[in-house]
Chains A and B, each alone.
Chain A
Amino acid sequence: MTAVVTYFSDIFRALGTVVIGMRITIKHLFTRSATVQYPTVKMKIPERARNRLYVNIDDCIGCDQCAMACPVDCITIETIKSTPDVDLGLTSKNTKKRLYVPRFDIDIAKCCYCGLCVPPCPTECIVMTDVYEFSEYDRHELIYKFSNMTPEEIVSAKDRLKKYDEEQAAKKAAAAAAAKAATPPPAPPTTPPPPPAQPGGTT
C-alpha cells in the first residue's frame, strides 16, 4: 500500500516542485539583469581603492623604504648622492633632498596591490590611484619608469660625485700627509707607550 502511495505522491511532488522552479525562473526572466555593460558603463570605484601606483618623483628622497616594504620586489630604486654644492630643493615636508633618483621603476605586472609601500614613505610621494585600465600587449610596457632624469643628467651627476669623491679623497690624503708631516716631532709625547704590566688590552 505504501508503495502505491509513494508512487503517486512522488509524481505529484515532482510536478509541484517543477512548477515552483519554473515560477522562480520566469520571475528572473523579467527582472532587470545585474550586468554592468563594462566598457560603456563603469561601476563607481571606492574612494580608497588600491589600483595602479603613482610616484610623485619631485617629492621622492630615494630612501628605498617602499622597495624594502614591497613583498614581491616590484620596485627598483637607484640613487646617486648629491654633492654639497648642488641644491636639489625641498620636499613637501620641508626637508632637504640629498639624493638624485636616476631610476625609480615599478613593474606593475608584478605588483600585488597590497599597498604596503604607501605607509612607509616619509614624504607620501608613492600613492595608489583609482586607475585600473592599463593593459598592454607587451609585458615590458608594464614597467613604469618614474624617474625624470635624462641620461645626460645621470652621467653628469655621476661625474660630479666622482670628481667630488676624488677631490675629497685627495683632500683627505693631503690632510693625512700634512698630518703625517706635522705629527712626527710631538708623536712620542702625545702617545706614551702603555704600561707593560697591563694584561690583555681591549684595543
Chain B
Amino acid sequence: MEWLIEFWNSVPPLVQGVVLAIPPLVFIILYALVVLYMEMKVAAHIQDRVAYMRTGWHGVLQPIADMVKLLLKEDIIPSAVDKVFFRVAPYVVFAGTYAAFAVLPFSSAYIGADLNLGVFFLVAISSLVVVGILMAGWASNNKWALLGGVRSAAQMISYEIPTALAIVVAAMITGSLNLQEVTKFQDGGILNWVVFGGPLPLMQKLLLLPFTLVTFFILFVAGIAEVNRTPFDLPEAESELVQGFNTEYSGMRFAMFYLAEYANLFLVSAVAVTLFLGGWSSPFGEFMSGPIWGVFWFVVKAMVFVFMQIWIRWTLPRLRVDQLMYVSWKVLTPWLFACILGVGFVLVI
C-alpha cells in the first residue's frame, strides 16, 4: 500500500487527472446502458406493454444494439447549418455534464476533484449545458430547434435559482460546500442525513425537519426541470417541437446528446442524494459501510431517484410555458427563501 501511494504521488498531476477522470466516464457509459433499458421497460410496463423481448433474455441486449446502431449511423450535417457550432454543440453539452461528475463523491475513497467549492463548481459547470443546447438550437438553422434551444435556456436559467437556493440550505446545515465533507457530515446512519436534520441535537433536528423535507422536495422538482424531463420537457417536446434542439442531429452526435441527458439525470439525483440523503454513507451506520459499499449505496440511492424521475415522466403531462415559469418563480423560489430563513433561525438559536 505504501509503495502505491508513493508511486501515485510521483506521477505528474496531469496524468493523475486523466486517471481520476476515467472512472466517471466508464460509469456514465455503463449506467446509460442500464438506464436506457430501465426507461423503456418502466415506460412499457406502466402502459401495460412489455417493451423489448427479443434481444437476449427479456431484451437485455437491446441497449447495446441501440448504441451500436447509433454509432454506425451516418452523421448527417444539413447544408444550411452553422457547421462549426453544429459539430461542437453535442460535445459542449456532454462536457458540461461530465465535468460536473468530477465533484461527485462516489465513495469515501474516490472523488474526481476534491474541491472545497464542490457544489458551487457543480452549479457553475452544469450551466455549460445551457450554452451547448442553445448552440445546437441556433446552429441547426431550424425553427423548431431554435424554439427548443430558447425554451431550454429560459427554463434552465429559471430553475438554476431554486437548485442553488436548495443547495444553500444544505450548505447552511452541513457548513461546507465540499461534497465529500457534506457526506462525511452525514455519516453514521439514516437519522444523520440532512433531510432528517443532520447529526444535530434532537430538538434542533425536529425543528429543522419541515424545512429540510420541503427543500429536498424542491431540489428534486427543480432537478427534473434542469434535465428537461417530462413534466418540464418543453425544450424537447417531441409532440410539438419534434425533439427541439436535437431535431437536426443524427448518429454519433445525437448519441452524445442522449448520453448527456441520461448522465444529467443521474447527476441531479446524485446531487440530491449527496446533499440530503447521505451520499455514500450507509443507512445502517457502521453496518455495510466502507469504500466499496460506499459506491453501492451512492449508486443505489441515486438510481432510486432516477427511477422516480422515469416514473414521473410516464405519469404527468407537460406543463405550459407560463405554468413552468409560475412554478419556478412564484412557488419554488419563495418557498425556498422561507426555508432558508427558517433553517437560519433554527441554527442560530
Contacts and interface: CB of A to CB of B under 8 A. Distances in A.
Interface of A: 7, 11, 18, 21-22, 24-26, 28-35, 37
Instruction: Classify the interface of chain A: helix, strand, loop or mixed.
Output: helix
Nearest to B41: A29
Contact of A33 (B45, B311, B312, B331): B45
Contacts of B330: 7
A23 B314 CA distance: 12
The 8 closest A-B pairs by CB, nearest first: A25-B315, A35-B50, A21-B315, A34-B48, A33-B50, A25-B46, A33-B48, A29-B45
Contacts of A21: 315-316
A32 B53 CA distance: 15
17 contacts: A18-B316, A21-B315, A22-B311, A24-B315, A26-B311, A29-B42, A29-B46, A30-B45, A31-B48, A32-B48, A33-B48, A33-B50, A34-B49, A35-B48, A35-B49, A35-B50, A37-B50
A36 to B, nearest CB: 10
A65 B53 CA distance: 48
Nearest to B327: A14
Interface in B182-225: none
Contacts of B316: 18, 21
Given A7-B330, A21-B315, A33-B45, 16 more contacts: A18-B315, A22-B311, A24-B315, A25-B311, A26-B311, A28-B47, A28-B48, A29-B42, A29-B46, A29-B311, A31-B48, A33-B44, A33-B48, A33-B49, A33-B50, A37-B53
A37 B58 CA distance: 12
Interface string B118-152: 00000000000000000000000000000000000
A11 B327 CA distance: 9
A25 B314 contact: yes
Contacts, number: 39
A29 B315 CA distance: 11
Nearest to A31: B48
B315 A22 contact: yes
Interface string B67-110: 00000000000000000000000000000000000000000000
Contacts of B53: 37
Nearest to A40: B53
B38 to A, nearest CB: 12
A51 to B, nearest CB: 26
A30 B330 CA distance: 36
A29 B50 CA distance: 10
Contacts of B331: 11
Interface in B297-317: 311-312, 314-316
A22 B315 CA distance: 6
A29 B308 CA distance: 13
Interface string B16-52: 0000000000000000000000000010111111100
A21 B311 CA distance: 10
A52 B311 CA distance: 44
Interface string B314-346: 111000000000000011000000000000000
